Amino acid sequence: MSEPFAWEIVVRVQRDSSSLPLAGRRALITGGAAGIGEATARRFAADGASVVVMDTTAPAAEIARDSRHLIADVTDPVQVAEAVREAAGDGGLDVCVANAGVSSMEGFLAGTSTSWEQVLRVNLLGVMITLQAAAKAMVDAGRGGRLLVTASIAGLHGEPGSSAYCASKAGVIGLVKTLAVELAPWSITANAVAPGQIDTAMNTRDLETAGRKSGRPAAALLREHLRLRVPAGRRGTPDEVASLFAFLASDEAAFINGEVLRIDGGELAS
């Protein structure tokens, strides 16, 4: 009795893995060594995708058994083209998540063209370089694709002391909306996710910077922000953002195009 039962389980697991939501999809995720990008890479791999992560640093641990990572910079078109080739392999690229980003907390009056250029180079030009290389690969393969970007609620409202960052995130939202229309003839969709406060190293670093500037403990600033501004009363997790990207990469989201989806615990709802 026990042998057929075990065999039945193996067959069921094999059938299940081929019916995973992202089975057979090839994905590239930039900034995938940490935070939101890393969680997204893990989720895509768990959902059956073949994942290549590119980042200027290596992930602390292996993302998933079949995943690969490349040390590369999104501001370098040659390195990005190589990452797209690696992710596409012989089968073509299906999904690209342009997620790599840097934060900047600098008052507008203190900013310089140099400090702005550092932020825009990664957060806006880096996204353009990534999405263009990915879109070209998708057009060449001729079977459509999904372009996804990590924007921010900072691109949807004003955040005092973060003008360069806000401008960069508003910029990628404009880019996504344009690509949604321009690339639709090739069945390529483009969507952005706009997170609020997500518990990552970047968010924690920003809180510490704000704490130093205001002379108050970072933990107190966070508690106050969550109490006054975030109806959910907590930071989001990288896994919650990864779930949204997994949905947008799946067949379920085929008719969503040019959208900006907030994931902020209600922060911009009020």
- Give the residue, chosen from 150, 162, 189, 191, that forms a contact with ligand NAD under the rule CB under 6 A: 150
Q: Which residues of 192-225 are buried (b: 16+ CB within 10 A; e: fewer)?
A: bbbbbbbbbeebeebbebbbeeeeeebeebbeeb
Distance in angstroms (rounded) separating the CA atoms of residues 256 and 179 = 13
Nearer to ligand NAD (CB atom), residue 77 or residue 144: 77
- One symbol per residue from 25 to 54: x for binding ligand NAD (CB under 6 A), - otherwise; what is it? -----xx-xxxxx-----------------
- Backbone torsions φ then ψ of 146, nearest 5 degrees: -125, 120
| Token pair recorded at residue 29 | 């995720």
CA dihedral 201, 203, 204, 210 (to 10 degrees): 140
Q: How far is the CB of 101 from ligand NAD (least distance, A)?
A: 2
Least separation in angstroms between residue 8's CB and ligand NAD is 41
User: Is 165 one of the annotated active-site residues of the chain?
Assistant: yes
Interface with ligand NAD, residue 74, by CB under 6 A: yes
Shorter beta-carbon distance to ligand NAD: residue 78 or 254 = 78
Q: What single-letter DSSP state applies at residue 121?
A: I
Whole-number minimum distance, CB 81 to ligand NAD, in Å? 14
Q: How crowded is residue 266: how many other Cβ atoms within 10 Å of its Cβ? A: 13
Size of the site for ligand NAD (CB under 6 A): 28
Active site residues: 165
Contacts with ligand NAD, residue ranges (CB under 6 A): 30-31, 33-37, 55-57, 73-75, 99-102, 122, 126, 150, 152, 195, 197-198, 200-203
